[in-house]
Chain A
Amino acid sequence: MTNAAAYLDSASSEPLHPAARATLLAAYDRGYADPRRLHGPGRDARLLLDNARAVVAECLDVRVDEVTFTASGTDAVHRGLLGLRRVGATVAHSAVEHSAVVHAATWAGDPVEIPVDRAGRVRREAIGPLATGVVAVQSANHEVGTLQPVAEIAAGLDVPLFVDACASMGRLPLPHGWDALAGSAHKWGGPPGVGVLLVRKGARWLNPFPGDDRIDERSGGFENVPAALAAAAALRAVVTERDEVNARQHALVDRIRASAAQVRDVEVVGDPVDRLPHLVTFSCLYVDGEAIVTELDRRGYGVASGSACTASTLTPSRVLEAMGVLTHGNVRVSLTRDTTAEDVDGFLAVLPDVVRDLRAEVGL
């Protein structure tokens, strides 16, 4: 029997990259001071912060002054989106955005939704009349992996575009055409508590929240210098490794897609090709989402589910609903950089039995 026990939920949070761990520990010794102070430790902290910003800018191919570190990916989303919105303007966001975008848009006013197709891809032709204030579209979907045609959308817009790139930052080059964009370090193997906000030079962005007297006026709160530096170190490592890692993960996900689709009444969703390399979602007819997550965990496999029964609310995943695919029995598998073919084969070996047993319990 294949060795069981694998964490397959990197889309929720990737384990800390080894490059980040060493940097983080070292930076705690050198980067504790207030980077605004003029004493030696303050200058050290400032140097590390500037260095982190420079590394992130280089990795993402943006200007240094376009990079802001925030307290989280969610914070970066909120600042990025709301900072582009003028008072009274309507936010139009895709129907498959992360809840951070939806919550920010709802907080600001009455947003409108841009529909998606069965694969979860934004229907570009529907945007025109909806784009009156600011448009928010993700780079890639966090639940099903489908890549969004951001550059094509941007080309047709004459209003500001916010892009939530939390699901893809580091793994894939950034799309073109955004005015503000957000990422989250723990999704690429950096530490938690670091978001990246990019604001394009010349974009009409205004801080939507109270200002703060910091190095970077777009941010608020005491800078987490060690974590920012560790996030930058992880990003550099991930960008350096991504050709090899992405190819391996893409092939392993292809294997999962093919194998899961062989199980009776299981539908694999999301775009099969134009997708994130490390993530796949499928739904099992007649199966309770919480039950399958629990049963797979019992066998050693940690996966996520977009089914209502496992979420914080009783409403099904907005992503699956918008795509018109089965919302129950949903399983999202996302690979870490260390996931092996043996891990995947072990998971695929237990999956059919788990699904069959759960169906048998309800008489199907």
Chain B
Amino acid sequence: MSTPTTADLELDCRGMLCPLPIIELGKRYAEVAVGGLVAVVATDVAARTDVPAWCRMRGQEYVGEELADDGSPRYVVRRVS
């Protein structure tokens, strides 16, 4: 397994149910500069669909899914605007 991407902001949303991980992302992504990376670690399965959908609706870039150190899914987003 590859090493997780280094993100400028890591959002620990383990245990949160939908739509809380996306609310967290929506509230905090602007803390990184344009071009920066935000990682959402979420155990709720809906995040797998909703993080890319959020990127599409909000005009941000979905980088991809990887695994956090504990095996939780980690969704990486690049702020482009």
Contacts and interface: CB of A to CB of B under 8 A. Distances in A.
A50 interface: no
Contacts of A285: 19, 22, 26, 54, 57-58
A174 interface: no
B23 A326 contact: no
Interface in B42-59: 44-46, 48-50, 52-54, 57-58
Contact of A286 (B23, B49, B52): B23
Describe B's contact surface by its main secondary structure: helix
B4 to A, nearest CB: 24
B33 interface: no
A363 B27 contact: yes
A362 B17 CA distance: 14
Contacts, number: 64
Q: Is the interface of A mostly helix, strand, loop or mixed?
A: loop
Contacts of B54: 285, 326
Contact residues on A (Cβ < 8 Å of other chain), bracket: 20 to 34
Interface stretch (A28-36, A40-48, A122-130, A308-316): A308-316
A303 B67 CA distance: 37
B18 interface: yes
B27 A316 contact: no
Contacts of B17: 308-309, 314
27 contacts: A265-B58, A267-B57, A285-B19, A285-B54, A286-B23, A288-B18, A307-B18, A308-B17, A308-B46, A309-B18, A314-B17, A316-B18, A316-B45, A316-B46, A321-B48, A321-B49, A325-B49, A325-B53, A326-B49, A326-B57, A327-B46, A327-B53, A328-B18, A328-B22, A329-B19, A363-B27, A364-B26
Q: 7 smallest A-B Cβ distances: which pairs?
A: A328-B19, A326-B53, A316-B46, A328-B18, A321-B49, A327-B46, A327-B49
